[in-house]
Amino acid sequence: MPPARVLFLAATLGGIGFAVFSVMTAPPPLWGALAAAGLYVAIVLAGVFVLRLRMFADAVIRGPAGARGVVLTFDDGPDPVHTQRVLDILDEHGAKATFFVIGKKVDKHPDVVKEIVARGHEVGVHGWAHDRLFALRGPRRVRRDLARAIRSLERVTKRRPTLFRPPVGHTNPTIARVAEQLELTVVGWSAAGYDGLGGADARKVAARITRGLDDGDIVLLHDAAERGDHEPTAAKSLPEILAAAKDKNLRVARLGDWVTALES
Ligand SMILES: [Zn+2]
């Protein structure tokens, strides 16, 4: 069990014990109760925001032990212009990647998704609406969004997707449970370039990713701006990232192979 989940369970049990003890003996001083509540909220929020802690979901963050090479993932597409450019660069380098697509964009640009698949890449779901407040939604709404995202992608690819990257990377017990019910593997990342923001510098993005790049890393990039309102830097930094990987003797691996190895 990931250490963060052990901490969460221990804190939950501790909190219940604290409450029972307080009811049975004397109420704790106000500062003590507030400090305990504050600590608990801080632990839960860390779990919601930091997917790699794996507090709530058994997310795939890195390749299996002994994995060779790195995996490239692209979020927030498909985009008729920018996804195309990323696909061309990947082809030039003979590299395959995984695209976590937004359901409503899939409905708008099904041909781009078909092209991603035709060129030999994998696709996974990234929510239908890419709801920034996904972690605050109830189970029905989370389920409806993910089921709709699955349907959108299945309609275009004729295959049911099995990979899922939560919108903005947030997870909680509800998202983890619904993903499991829908047989989706939650996928995180171990190397991010913070390229999703408008005005991100392509060289800095490449440097952030390549600095400690090593076997087993899952790289997070964006082939589209979340709201389509700026030019993503991924296409500009990708050649540099691929060249650095080659220099480090890191081949580009397939996410599906790693997930299969981790789940077997
Ligand atoms: Zn996203």
pLDDT tens per residue across span 23-43: 888 888 889 889 989 999 999
Taking a C-beta distance cutoff of 8 angstroms, is the pair 184, 149 a contact?
Answer: no
Domain membership flag for residue 144:
yes
Mark whether 42 and 93 lie in a shared domain: no
* Number of compact structural domains in the chain: 2
CA distance linking residue 228 with residue 95, whole number of Å: 25
- Active-site entry in 126, 222, 229, 257: 222
Question: Is pLDDT above 90 for 81?
Answer: yes
Mark whether 35 and 166 lie in a shared domain: no
**Ligand 1: centre distance to CA 207 (Å):** 21
| Exposure b/e, 163-172, CB count within 10 A at least 16 = b | bbbbbbbbbb
Mark whether 43 and 144 lie in a shared domain: no
Mark whether 251 and 156 lie in a shared domain: yes
- Active-site entry in 58, 75, 121, 214: 75
DSSP H helical ranges for 93-229:
103-108, 110-118, 139-157, 173-181, 202-210
Mark whether 182 and 233 lie in a shared domain: yes
Centre a 10 Å sphere on the Cβ of residue 31 and count the other Cβ atoms it contains.
Answer: 8
Mark whether 122 and 242 lie in a shared domain: yes
pLDDT (0 to 100) of residue 124: 98
CA neighbor of 148 nearest in space, from 99, 102, 103: 103
SS3 1: coil
207's tokens: 């440097």
The whole domain housing 38 covers 3-49
Domain membership flag for residue 56:
no
User: Over pLDDT 70: what percentage of the chain?
Assistant: 100
Mark whether 114 and 42 lie in a shared domain: no
Mark whether 203 and 78 lie in a shared domain: yes
**Ligand 1: centre distance to CA 125 (Å):** 10
Asked if 222 is an active-site residue, the reply is yes
Mark whether 186 and 245 lie in a shared domain: yes
Give the model's confidence band at 115: pLDDT under 50 very low, under 70 low, under 90 confident, else very high: very high
Give the domain CATH number at 197: 3.20.20.370
Phi, psi of 262 (to 5 degrees): -70, -30
Mark whether 98 and 213 lie in a shared domain: yes
Q: What is the pTM of this model?
A: 0.93
